Structure 1
Amino acid sequence: MKKLLPTSTSGSLPKPTWLAQPETLWSPWKLQGQELIDGKHDALRVSLQEQQLADIDIVSDGEQTRQHFVTTFIEHLSGVDFENRKTVTIRNRYEASVPTVVGPVSRQKSVFVEDAKFLRQQTDKPIKWALPGPMTMIDTLYDDHYKSREKLAWEFAKILNEEAKELEAAGVDIIQFDEPAFNVFFDEVNEWGIAALERAIEGLKCETAVHICYGYGIKANTDWKKTLGSEWRQYEEVFPKLQKSNIDIISLECHNSRVPIELLELVRGKKVMVGAIDVATNTIETPEEVADTLRKALQFVDADKLYPCTNCGMAPLSREVARGKLNALSAGADIIRKELSAKY
């Protein structure tokens, strides 16, 4: 029998201090060559063990093998020049020095498939693998070739589809596309963003998810959130079309956010990864706080479609805090499972 309310994380977990500078995004590696390859695998094992000890049901690599959720994928593509960098404003929020698209983009070889095979060998649990979504990829680059966000997104969607098919063949159960850009560029999302995402999942038999959050707990994001007013209704713009899409699971931010919970009604029928852990604070939730968020979500999501999750990745947090939050997520989900089994 399938477990009710299977827990998972949005993706990243903190890296060990011997691999990269902790509590930092885009942190450079401390190892090189074969040592780095071995170190990433060791970190992946540690990350997996943390999830298993916390009784997380759907596990991931904790994104231990990548520096950043978007740029690490882009580094492996041809047509992108990492030496020739430009400063762009990412998601209308913060400036970053990013690589430039200088020619046709293509993928010469798989990016994460060997890592996914390694993870698959380490566990019998269902595994989830995160890839950047097409729209978030184009928002993390300077395009000097296609001169069209939409054209470049379609090219990336094709490349992501190749990678996703190989990840599926490697034994990945859920492929998640991270699309924080879906919370910003609403017209583009509805005009071509969701269509590009559907191109990325074309032909897949494994489950697919899209993760739309309000970002890591970094200052640029927390400052932006302060400008959004008392209600965050961004999801309202994109959920109706996502509800009709071929994506199986929608992953979103709930706990400590100002997202009106009733917006979940807009994706009724889809599986929903409900963010019940706030990643923008070092305060560890109590199991009861997690349960409370899940109870509210259950008004709009059927119990067999609710997947308790974190709001976003936990890379910028300390390992101790992340561990506490994983345990709280499991314990909170357990409270609700007991309540549900008493009901039925």
Structure 2
Amino acid sequence: MVISTNLGFPRMGANRELKRLVENFWSGKVDENALLSGSKKIREEHWSLQKKAGLEHIPSNDFSFYDQVVDHSYAFGVIPARYKNLHPGLETYFAMCRGLQKAEVDVPACEMKKWFDTNYHYIVPEFEPNQQFTLNPAKILDEFKEAKDIGIQTRPVILGPISYLLLGKPIRGAPHEFEPIQLLSKLLPLYEELLSKLAGAGATWIQVDEPFLVTDLSSNLKKEYSSAYNALTKVSPQLKILIATYFERIGTNIDFVINTPISAIHIDLVRAPGQLETILKSIPSTVSLSLGLINGRNIWKANFDAALTTAQKAIDTLGSERVFIAPSCSLLHTPHSVQAEKKIDPEILDWLSFATEKIKEIVTISKVLNDGNQSVQSEIDANRKSVQNRKTSPRIHNAVVQEKMKTLNPDMFKRKLPFRERQKQQQKLGLPSFPTTTVGSFPQTKEVRAVRAKLKKGEIDQAGYDDFVNKEIEKCIRFQEKIGIDVLVHGEFERNDMVEFFGENLEGYVFSGNGWVQSYGSRCIKPPIIFGDVFRPKPMTVDVIKYAQSLTKKPLKGMLTGPVTMLQWSFVRDDQPRKDTTFQLALAIREEVHDLEAAGISVIQIDEPAIREGLPLRKEDWNEYLNWAVDAFLLSSTGVDSSTQIHTHMCYSDFNDIIESIQRMDADVITIENSRSDLKLLNAFEKHEYTNEIGPGLYDIHSPRVPSKEELKARLQEILKYISKDLIWVNPDCGLKTRGWAEVESALKNMTDVAKEFRSIEAK
């Protein structure tokens, strides 16, 4: 009998209950007891939901207040020294995630990075050469016992020791030769102790996530994997270990673990379907295979017939008793349930499957394989009808868009003049040295969200909403003028989200009402859904930006989201190459850029924070992606005069490997996240002699703490070691949407004062 399994479930709850609970705790509206009891209730609801659906292996410890990596850092005592004097427990935990500023305490947060090629973020562990690990297994054990108390035997999920170490970084000042993987022998005994405690609590299966097994690994890591899993599999005879890989093909890295006495391995057959044949040939007779057949990162219904065909291939080789049916990865990356969707067009809604529905798909496929089609014939018939309807719907394709795609030519992918000549023409903007700007958004206050909600409910009309937005824009402009920012933004008060807003103004998109997914911590996003050909029916931002520019004599940026980010942060159609969808988006943005320029906007920012995120996990696949990703940005941005200054923004990424592609984007100004990464990203820009202007983020906007002038001065002084002063911009590291006005006013005032001070020094 095949076994139905899951690798992880969304944490936030059907209506983002966890988000509200955590944020109320941060603001002091609820105490720790309320936070703990409320989160326990959410977990129990999720376990019961999966049990009721018929799932056999249900995960535990997939829950987190922030992210699973920082959970492991706390569980193994990997707490940087700057937090050691804080109260143990949640104060220390959240300080690592968000920083802490109170009374005599002022500590920044740990670095935050993207989780492989997703829009989910994790807190980067910091390791010392003499790292002392200490085990705190309470969370992992307690959640297993919680489920057991309500009659549910779970499969605890832990991050594998190799991947955990590889996700981390050496503490600042560590010897150059030190690498965290050198700590494996010290860490392994604590993993063994943890597994022993889980076995003692009654666990029979453990899911150990080793996502690095789908990346390019050096051969010397084979020994580390072998020693790790030979040790862990000997902890308890009752404990079976499943190693989970996802997001790509495991390839020859299968050799790292295949000869260890593990009980099962999970592979992603959505992202890498071709790997099944190789795995079936190499898997030992003692190892079961978990088939990632249901897409854990997208929202389209599974094609049951295709999934069953793949599963049958595995069964024919291994036998049904050695096959698990599973999602491709944790369902963390999908919304909770389509049941809450009341406004999506019924035809398109019939094509969708969120986390709750994906669990049912897993169970249905398992039932067919175990009991035959007749056991779930109605579900099979309904699935075939949905898949066929989506394939043949006339709403998918647009003849005008298809024709535009055929008329692309080389001149549409390059600026008219090289950067240095454009830079001279852009001096008409009259900017000082160390020009200041922000990345785009200003605080989305309760008042802004309340008025937007009233518009959606019909309690105010569009004219009333526009009047409110205009007043907010004017306040934002006046504030920026008052503190001396040089290139202004309008604040984006009319926008719910940097992707959703544009999607709402493009054809080919549809929007969920409750399709929230976690991005980091309590931050949730509601990705729009690209179901068909994308095009722009009318200008999207021109009127608002023209109004904002009319309020000031200073240059004001037109703010747009780039095509790769629009792709990456949406749920994307899977019936055509991602490149084609991205070029369609680029053409729509290109039209908007042209209209903004025609309206007199001389500075236009096209944000691409996700361009590094989309980089394939295997280096042999990089060139193909980078070629079309950069081409998409060029297509969107190059149809302007040389005097128009094009900006872009990128955040929370390692740029070292793609710096040449960033240079090829040829933006006049790039702003980057830099504040949480100890300036290490600037090494790439210095090493490769990046020639265009750059604004390394001076402070971290994802933390509520306000940086002092001294801190900002020191950081800017460090930046000058890497970047020529005539190329430097002064700005925060990201948009200010999630911050409060009090924090923003203080931080930006400090920032502009520092820029003015550096100008005065230069003038002497």
Q: What range describes the TM-score normalised by the shorter chain of this pair?
A: 0.7 to 0.9
Structure holding more helix per residue: 2
- Tell me if 1:67 matches 2:503: no
Alignment of 1:155-166 (within 5 A): 155-166=584-595
User: Which residue number in structure 2 is paired with residue 262 of structure 1?
Assistant: 683
Instruction: Say whether residues 1:245 and 2:654 are aligned partners.
Output: no
Call closer, same or farther: CA 1:95–1:253 in 2, change over 3 Å: closer
**Aligned 1:1-344 pairs, distance under 5 A:** 2-20=431-449, 28-31=452-455, 32-33=460-461, 34-83=463-512, 97-144=526-573, 146-186=575-615, 187=622, 190-205=626-641, 206-214=644-652, 234-260=654-680, 261-265=682-686, 266=688, 268-342=690-764
Preserved CA contact (<8 Å) 2:439 2:733: yes
Greater displacement, 142-151 / 277-286:
142-151
CA-to-partner distance for each residue in 1:251-300, whole Å, 9 max, x for gaps? 11122433413223135211002211210222211122212222222222
Kept in 1: contact 2:512–2:526 (CA 8 A): no
Q: Is the 8 A contact 1:264 1:297 kept in 2?
A: no
Distance 1:255 1:38 in 2: 36
Cα 1:35/1:310, change in 2 over 3 Å: same
Give the AA of the match of 2:561. P
Partner of 1:19, secondary structure, is helix
Superposed CA deviations along residues 296-319 of structure 1, whole A, max 9, x for unmatched, are 222222212111011001111111
| 8 A Cα contact 1:212 1:253, kept in partner | yes
What SS does the corresponding residue of 2:527 show, helix, strand or coil?
strand
Q: Is contact 1:79-1:102 (8 Å) kept?
A: yes
CA–CA separation in structure 2 for the residues paired with 1:46 and 1:158? 33
Q: How far apart are 1:140 and its partner, in Å?
A: 2.2
Answer whether contact 2:606 2:637 (CA < 8 A) is retained.
no
CA positional deviation for 1:238: 2.2
1:25-50: CA deviation from partner (whole Å, max 9, x where unpaired): xx954443211111111111111112
Deviations 1:194-225 (A, max 9, x none): 111000012212111110012xxxxxxxxxxx
Q: Distance in 2 between matches of 1:62 and 1:10?
A: 10
Once the two structures are TM-superposed, the CA of residue 16 in structure 1 deviates from its matched residue by 4.5
Structure 1 residues 257 and 191: alpha-carbon distance in aligned structure 2, compared to 1, 3 A threshold:
same
What is the CA RMSD across the aligned residues, in angstroms? 2.5
Contact 1:86 1:142 in 2 (8 A): no
For the residue of structure 1 that corresponds to 2:604, the secondary structure is strand
Q: Do the aligned partners of residues 2 and 50 (structure 1) sit closer, same or farther apart at CA in structure 2, a change above 3 Å counting?
A: closer
**SS of structure 1 residue aligned to 2:528:** strand
Q: Which one-letter code corresponds to 1:271 in the other structure?
A: E
Q: Which amino acid aligns with 1:243?
A: Q
In structure 1, stretches of 5+ residues that fail to align are 22-26, 215-231
How many angstroms apart in 2 are the aligned matches of 1:256 and 1:89?
A: 20
Q: CA deviation at 1:143?
A: 2.6
Post-superposition offset of 1:84: 9.0
Count of residue pairs brought into register by the alignment: 318
CA contact (8 A) 2:452 2:465 kept: no
Question: Aligned equivalents of 1:255 and 1:340: distance in 2?
Answer: 24
CA shift in 2, pair 1:17/1:140, >3 Å? same
- Give 2:553's aligned amino acid: D
TM-score by length of 2: 0.40
Q: Distance in 1 between matches of 2:519 and 2:725?
A: 36
CA 1:87/1:310 → structure 2, altered by over 3 Å: closer, same or farther?
closer
* 8 Å CA contact 2:666, 2:692 repeated in 1: no
The structure with higher relative contact order (CA 8 Å, sep 6+) is 1
Deviation at 1:90, TM superposition (A): 6.9
Conservation of the 8 A alpha-carbon contact between 1:276 and 1:310: yes
Paired with 2:723 and 2:660, the residues of 1 have a C-alpha distance of 15
For residues 83-106 of structure 1, the C-alpha deviation after alignment (integer angstroms, 9 at most, x for no partner) is 598777879xx9854332232211
1:208 counterpart letter in structure 2: I
Q: Give the deviation of 1:11 after TM superposition.
A: 0.6
Distance 1:86 1:324 in 2: 35
Stretches of structure 2 that go unaligned for 5 or more consecutive residues are 1-429, 616-621
More strand by share: 1
8 Å CA contact retained: 1:85, 1:98:
no
Counterpart amino acid of residue 317 in structure 1: R
Q: Which has the larger radius of gyration?
A: 2
Partner-residue secondary structure (3-state), 1:281: coil
**Identity across aligned pairs (percent)?**
25
Contact 2:633/2:665, CA 8 A, preserved across alignment: no
Say if 1:324 and 1:89 are closer, same or farther in 2 by CA, change over 3 A. closer
The 1-side partners of 2:516 and 2:744 are apart by: 32
